[in-house]
Amino acid sequence: MKKSRGWLKKIANDRKLRAGGFSVLLTALAVALALLLGALSDGLEKRYALQADYSFNGATSQSEVTRAAIRQLDKEVTLFAVSSSSGADETLLSLVNRYDAASEKIASVQESLVTNPVLQQQYRDAVSGQKPVENCLIVHCGETGLTRILTSRDFVLYSYNAETGAYDQTQYSYEKSVTEAILFVVQDEVPCVQILTGHGEKTEDETALLEETLTSANYQVKRVSLSAGDELDPQSPLMILCPRYDFSEEEISLLMDFASRGGDFFIVSQYADPTYLERFQALLRAYGLQWYPGMVIAKAEDTAGYYAGSTVALMPTLQEADVTRTLLSGGETVFLLSSARAWELPQTVPDGVMLSPILTTGEAYIRNFGDGESTSQQQPSDPEGHFAVAVWADKLFDSGIISHAFVIGDLTLFVDSWIRSNTSSTALLLQVIRFLRGSEPVSLDILPIQAQRESLSLKDITPAIIVTVMLPLLVLLGAVLVLWPRKNL
């Protein structure tokens, strides 16, 4: 017992041991406090998303548009972040956590198809019919039963790089896609666009990019056939995409009945399409429209009217109309049409019809190869001037109901990936669909963010280098100043 007391007394009287023990105790308390604060901070971050986003593009930040939108939610939404076997999309996970923290109506769950393969049976995209895949986000509302499945194609925007000949990631649209999907699934009705079939129109493969554009904007795309007895919904625009066979009298009667109930048309007819479709032309004439029998070719001297030296690759001018004002104010004015058909704007139109040109060419002429001349050079009999290659028509019925029709002379504008990436074709398509009768799609004014950061110069990183070097030196100097007087302890 005396030895034990002597050992304790020795420790108590030894100044070095007392100082060392006190330092160990302080260190242990500091570590314990740090662990406690870390656990508390982690819990608070998960609950309230307190972590600031200091990345150069702020990919996980939420705009005021998103905050205002989710504050108005009246239905519960679940976000399933589905990871892959190689890991999760950390940007998406961080963003999803912020949505969870921002609203009591939103819950987030991290899932994997490996551990929970039932997800592929439980959920199906309400617009495209797509099943869950790896690294996707499932947005689901139990009350409406609606689901949207977002993949990297919804989050990453690409632009064509002329130097490399490849498509580069240029922008991210995480926030816009997720917020719009949340607002979509809480809707009671899904906006729809109908595509007519049964007359040799463009197939699903040929219109895949157009349909993808519509589904990305939260439209449901539905193919309908009059010969199969499908009924047309006047609340959903009807697309007629390059028919190659004529309509029957009964079908024209059904189409006019659709129009008289307020149904709207989105019609594409190209130069290469047949010209002998009499009943189809009769439908167009009911809206005061008739095509020129030939291909529109830009005059070589009007270099601003065509692209890359090809006079059949038209770069038309966007005209001012109700449907185009938003595009004009937003600078969405670049379009490219190839081997297009032009539309006559007659001095006299049927009663109740009003026409507005939407896209017009520069100086051009109409080359009708059916005249026996195979050359594309202008002939004396070829009409020349500025031609309308896209037209908006309003038709007033005796009942007071107005039917609208948008007619354009080339489909390439909406189905070519290069044109979509380098022109304003997507903006035009969605703006036209919005103005045609039907439900307003979920579309928010959230701008995409930059995906790639410009390289830093030496001048830009000089302050960072100074801080990186000086900070450790200052810490070392402070340590020397504190410890030097205690070197004999």
pLDDT tens track for 150-199: 988 888 877 766 677 677 777 788 888 899 999 989 988 888 999 999 99
For residues 426 and 455, membership in a common domain is answered with no
Q: Which of 216, 195, 198 is closest to 207 using CA atoms?
A: 195
pTM exceeds cut of 0.75: no
> How many CB atoms within 10 Å of residue 309?
8
CATH of the domain at 464: 3.40.30.10
- Report, in angstroms and rounded to the nearest whole number, the Rg of the chain calculated over CA atoms: 33
For residues 103 and 155, membership in a common domain is answered with yes
Tens digits of per-residue pLDDT, 428-457? Answer: 999 999 999 755 666 677 777 666 555 555
Q: Report if residue 482 sits inside a domain.
A: no
For residues 77 and 176, membership in a common domain is answered with yes
Q: Report if residue 336 sits inside a domain.
A: yes
**Residue found under tokens 């007391």:** 5
| Residue 27: φ, ψ to 5° | -65, -45
**What pLDDT is stored for residue 3 in this prediction?**
52
For residues 272 and 403, membership in a common domain is answered with yes
SS3 of residue 312 by DSSP: strand
From the DSSP assignment, how many helices (H) and strands (E) are in the chain? 15, 23
For residues 200 and 344, membership in a common domain is answered with yes
Task: Say if residue 347 is exposed, middle or buried (CB neighbours under 10 Å; 0-12, 13-18, 19+).
Answer: exposed
Which of these three, 409, 435, 461, is where a domain ends?
435
**What pLDDT is stored for residue 196 in this prediction?**
97
Q: Report if residue 210 sits inside a domain.
A: yes
For residues 306 and 323, membership in a common domain is answered with yes
The answer to whether the CB of 291 falls within 8 A of the CB of 397 is no
- Joined together, the tokens standing for residue 483 give 């410890």
For residues 223 and 276, membership in a common domain is answered with yes
Q: Report if residue 345 sits inside a domain.
A: yes
**What pLDDT is stored for residue 54 in this prediction?**
47
Q: CA–CA separation, 489 vs 487, rounded Å? A: 6
Count the residues in the chain: 489
Residues of the chain scoring pLDDT < 70: 1-26, 38-60, 160-162, 165, 371-373, 438-443, 449-467, 478-479, 482-489
Mean pLDDT estimate for the chain: 84
Render 163-222 in DSSP notation, one character per residue.
Answer: TTTEEEEEEE-HHHHHHHHHHHHT-SS--EEEEEESSSPPPTTTTHHHHHHHHHTT-EEE
Q: Report if residue 484 sits inside a domain.
A: no
For residues 222 and 339, membership in a common domain is answered with yes
For residues 278 and 389, membership in a common domain is answered with yes
Domain range for 388: 192-435
3-state helix, strand, coil in the chain (%, to 5): 35, 20, 40
For residues 84 and 196, membership in a common domain is answered with no
**What pLDDT is stored for residue 84 in this prediction?**
80
**What pLDDT is stored for residue 344 in this prediction?**
92
Q: CA–CA separation, 132 vs 82, rounded Å? A: 8
CATH of the domain at 393: 3.40.50
Task: Say if residue 319 is exposed, middle or buried (CB neighbours under 10 Å; 0-12, 13-18, 19+).
Answer: middle
Number of domains in the chain: 3
**What pLDDT is stored for residue 451 in this prediction?**
62
For residues 356 and 250, membership in a common domain is answered with yes
Q: Report if residue 442 sits inside a domain.
A: no
Q: Report if residue 483 sits inside a domain.
A: no
Q: Report if residue 357 sits inside a domain.
A: yes
For residues 457 and 334, membership in a common domain is answered with no
Using CA atoms of 262, 263, 268, 274 in order, give the dihedral in degrees to the nearest 10: -100
